[in-house]
A = this chain, B = another copy of it.
Amino acid sequence: MNYKNFPMVPRVVFGRGSFNQINDILAPKRTSIYAPFIFLLDNVFKNNPWLTSRIKLSYDDRIIFVSSKEEPKTSQVDELVEDIILKSKERPSGIIGIGGGSLLDMAKAVALLITNEGDAQQYQGWDLIKNPGIYHVGIPTISGTGAEVSRTTILTGPKLKLGINSDYTPFDQVILDPELTAGVPKQQWFYTGMDCYVHCVESLNGTYLNEFSKTYGEKSFDLCKEIFLDDNLSEEEAQNKLMMASWHGGMSIAYSQVGVAHAMSYGLSFLLGVKHGIGNCLVFDHLEEFYPEGVKIFKQMKEKHGIELPTGICKDLSDDDFDTMIRVALSLEPLWENAVGKNWKQTITPEKLRGIYKKI
């Protein structure tokens, strides 16, 4: 039996206001005055001096604003990499992703593609990356995705929605500043928080589970229940706890795997561009068969926060559309194996997935 030698983020700062330390953290990592730091910021921070004024740009450093309206694409990564290489006198000193899961994944992918030749889509899969990426830093501004600790970067390519999973993917540095999550709109807060909750349910109910993943998953699960079901937390406490829930949830799946909701949500995203957080919720809502207890609690959380999921998303889709979603979902073999076991192909048929998609 062969156990994964799991790469952990080697440096982490946690604390309200810790984002103020960004310049001090980066300074010793500058390789030359011609080697800029490239900050990838979510568009929502344009004209937000509360955040941007704290980033000190020196020499050729620059901020690139990136939209996270759509899920990150391999083509977007390729364009960014080309732009960065063309406009930088030397290989950059580092890439800093500031935003939600999309921005974090984009930063990881860009850092890898600067040192690995070719297009991003070539590396979608497991352990295809050959060279370490350049120094990359993740600073989440919304909690739940686990992208801050994971060894993947989920991208939508021409053929698949699939991660670049590799030991070189995790960030070299993460800054966890719960203050940065203060302005997140309620719906997005809920959907992204549920990404974390679903990670826990899928990890804790998976066949890949071991005691390492279990302890992280259980803690994250308990935090999610506290945050989304209890009424005892101040806003600040809830922000702090959700940031840690995301971290532990990410650690839990990092050593195990996600499951049915993620596999099917990827299909939904690939075809319709549905964002990952809400996509998970749309699918998870119909997964009582796989996760009875988890789905029951999810419905309580939805109700408590007055969240109504959109319906009829799949009602006008053609047979070809369903086939595309099913193809993408079934391509994620490790997720199914984790969820259902080695013989998953006996029960997870295209017809079964079509039945679930039709309810959405």
Contacts and interface: CB of A to CB of B under 8 A. Distances in A.
Interface in A239-254: 240-241, 243-245, 248
Contacts of A215: 219, 223, 241, 244-245, 248
A219 B211 CA distance: 12
Interface size on A, as a range, is 35 or more
Contact of A8 (B2, B3, B5, B8): B8
A13 B212 CA distance: 9
Number of this chain's copies in the complex: 2
Interface stretch (A15-23, A111-119, A335-343): A15-23
Most buried by B among A1, A9, A211: A211
A6 B1 contact: no
A321 interface: no
Nearest to A242: B211
A4 interface: yes
Contacts of A248: 215
A220 to B, nearest CB: 8
A25 interface: yes
Contacts of A214: 244
B17 A8 contact: no
Given A13-B6, A218-B219, A212 B1 contact: no
A8 B9 contact: yes
Contacts of A5: 11-13, 21, 25, 173
12 contacts: A3-B15, A3-B18, A5-B12, A5-B21, A5-B25, A6-B11, A14-B212, A14-B255, A211-B241, A215-B219, A215-B241, A218-B219
Given A7-B11, A216-B219, 4 more contacts: A6-B14, A8-B8, A14-B212, A212-B244
